[in-house]
């Protein structure tokens, strides 16, 4: 390879004078005359790169990645918190609903009982009134009947006196007539 | 027309900076591409957005970050994150310079053994110094695997020590050889196209379709290799550092 390089550089001598001048046709990677230059430039370049990377580049990119990671975690935590809150709100709502429903039931049954009691009481009063009225009416009827009965006795005695007088022509004794009427009424009754 | 697949690896001094001893320190094309890689990484990592939902550039920056971070965590554990800047710098430096090197007429830094060897030795000494600093003499337990019968222990220890000191060699030669061979192959096949066309005329240009197709395929392969070798370099660094962090297993 060294020979071919030598030939080539000989041919291209015009174009590459500076290039080939220093190393006299040796295989470039093993040309020790360039080592010092390369080592010095590598040392400078690599130290510069190391400083840039360790001081600026990695903290910067690492910070961006970390910030993103934190943000994602924060958002997830926030979402979880909101989810928990909504679940708690739903539970509270359901509890309230159940409580309201049972209270409504209690109120309605209480009202029903109250109304029942009230109507029962009213009915009783009315019944009592009606019973009293019935008693009064019965008394009135009994009185009326007694009065009517006593009238009937008089009328019956008169009628019996008149009948006997017509049949016999003799006016009967009043006491006898009364006794007969009484006996007859008693027999009927 | 001659194919010169080696010319692309030439170090061309652009201007001289100074001298150390009798070595001339020059600003070369290699230096230029090293700083190009540093600049590209800086732009990628510092100019990308900071949005909640990343754009393309920001995605690349964040994927690089997460990729290297997860590689370290899975091979060297959480303690390995101490070396995150080092491994990230190594991975990005090699990956970006390899990818830039695939563009025609550019220079590939890691096609020079001296560069990969310097990086591999940086890792080697980091492992050695941190391992001894953190674990003291216990660090040398990595040469004594547990559960080995006593009569073959010397042999195993010899192999372990040898392999430990050969790590920087394999670490650096793997990257260097891959980049060098890939670029030579690309150049050779690309050179065939022009060579056939110039020497055989119309038939040659027609025949050049095949090496052209191969060049395209090789370029795709080299893209993969450029990334893969950077990844291999980084993951081997993690594995070696894992020895320094958790010796004795």
Chain A hits for B109, Cβ within 8 Å: 42
Chain B residues near residue A68 by CB distance under 8 angstroms: 52
pLDDT, residue A149, reads 81
The mean per-residue pLDDT over the stretch A133-144 comes to 93
Q: Which of B19, B245, B230 is nearest to B119 (CA)?
A: B230
Residue B181: what pLDDT? 93
For residues A7-31, give the mean pLDDT: 50
Alpha-carbon B152 to chain mean position: 36
Q: What is the pLDDT of residue B128?
A: 92
Element containing residue B218 per DSSP (H, E): helix B209-245
Tokens of B169: 């060699």
Number of Cβ pairs < 8 A linking chain A and chain B: 155
* pLDDT tens sequence across A143-154: 998 888 888 888
Q: Which chain B positions have a beta carbon within 8 Å of A6's beta carbon? A: none
Report how far residue A170's alpha carbon sits from residue A78's, in angstroms, rounded to the nearest whole number. 131
Confidence of residue B192 (pLDDT cuts 50, 70, 90): confident
pLDDT band at A106 (very low <50, low <70, confident <90, very high): very high
Q: Is the pTM of this model over 0.90?
A: no
- The DSSP output letter for A33 is G
**pLDDT tops 80 at residue A9:** no
- pLDDT given for residue A23 in this prediction: 41
- The pLDDT score that the predictor gives to residue B249 is 58
| List of chain A residues whose C-beta atoms are within 8 Å of the C-beta of residue B62 | 61, 64-65
What number is the ipTM of this complex? 0.89
Confidence of residue A48 (pLDDT cuts 50, 70, 90): very high
Residues B28, A53: C-beta atoms closer than 8 Å = no
Give the integer Cα–Cα distance in Å for B134 and B127: 10
Residues B68-98 pLDDT 10s: 999 999 998 888 899 999 999 999 999 999 9
Distance in angstroms (rounded) separating the CA atoms of residues A170 and A182: 21
Q: Do B93 and A19 touch (CB under 8 A)?
A: no
**Would you call A139 exposed, middle or buried from its count of C-beta atoms within 10 A (0-12, 13-18, 19+)?**
exposed
Residue A8: pLDDT band (50, 70, 90) is: very low
Closest CA to A40 of B18, B163, B227, B74: B18
Q: What residues does B20 pair with on adjacent strands? A: B23
B37 touching chain A per CB within 8 A: yes
B152 touches chain A (CB under 8 A): no
């Amino acid at each position: 390879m060294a020979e071919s390089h030598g030939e080539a550089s000989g041919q291209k001598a015009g174009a590459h004078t500076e290039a080939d001048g220093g190393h006299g046709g040796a295989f470039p990677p093993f040309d020790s005359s360039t080592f010092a230059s390369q080592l010095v430039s590598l040392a400078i370049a690599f130290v510069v790169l190391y400083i840039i990377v360790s001081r600026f580049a990695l903290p910067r990119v690492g910070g961006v990645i970390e910030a993103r990671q934190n943000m994602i975690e924060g958002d997830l935590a926030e979402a979880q918190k909101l989810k928990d809150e909504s679940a708690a709100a739903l539970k509270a709502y359901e509890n309230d609903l159940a409580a309201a429903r049972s209270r409504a039931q209690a109120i309605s049954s209480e009202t029903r009982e109250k109304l029942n009691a009230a109507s029962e009481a009213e009915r009783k009063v009315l019944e009592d009134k009606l019973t009293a009225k019935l008693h009064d009416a019965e008394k009135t009827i009994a009185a009326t009947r007694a009065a009517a009965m006593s009238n009937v006795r008089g009328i019956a005695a008169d009628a019996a006196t008149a009948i006997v007088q017509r049949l016999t022509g003799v006016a009967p004794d009043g006491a006898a007539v009364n006794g007969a009427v009484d006996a007859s009424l008693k027999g009927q009754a | 027309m001659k194919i010169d697949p080696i010319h692309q690896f030439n170090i061309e001094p652009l201007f001289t900076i100074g001298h150390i001893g009798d070595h001339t320190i020059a600003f070369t094309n290699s230096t230029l591409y090293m700083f190009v890689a540093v600049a590209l990484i800086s732009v990628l990592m510092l100019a990308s957005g900071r949005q909640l939902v990343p754009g393309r550039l920001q995605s690349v920056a964040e994927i690089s970050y997460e990729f290297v971070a997860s590689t370290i965590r899975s091979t060297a554990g959480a303690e390995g994150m101490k070396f995150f800047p080092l491994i990230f710098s190594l991975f990005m430096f090699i990956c970006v310079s390899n990818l830039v090197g695939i563009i025609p007429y550019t220079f590939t830094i890691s096609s020079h053994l001296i560069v990969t060897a310097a990086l591999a030795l940086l890792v080697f000494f980091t492992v050695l110094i941190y391992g001894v600093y953190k674990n003291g003499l216990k660090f040398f337990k990595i040469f004594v695997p547990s559960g080995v019968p006593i009569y073959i222990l010397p042999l195993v220890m010899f192999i372990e020590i040898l392999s430990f000191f050969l790590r920087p060699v394999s670490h650096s030669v793997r990257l260097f050889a891959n980049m060098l061979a890939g670029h030579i192959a690309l150049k050779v096949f690309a050179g065939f196209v022009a060579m056939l066309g110039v020497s055989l005329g119309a038939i040659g240009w027609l025949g050049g379709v095949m090496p052209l197709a191969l060049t395209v395929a090789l370029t795709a392969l080299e893209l993969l290799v450029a990334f893969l070798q950077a990844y291999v370099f980084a993951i081997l660094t993690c594995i070696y550092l894992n020895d320094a962090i958790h010796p004795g297993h």
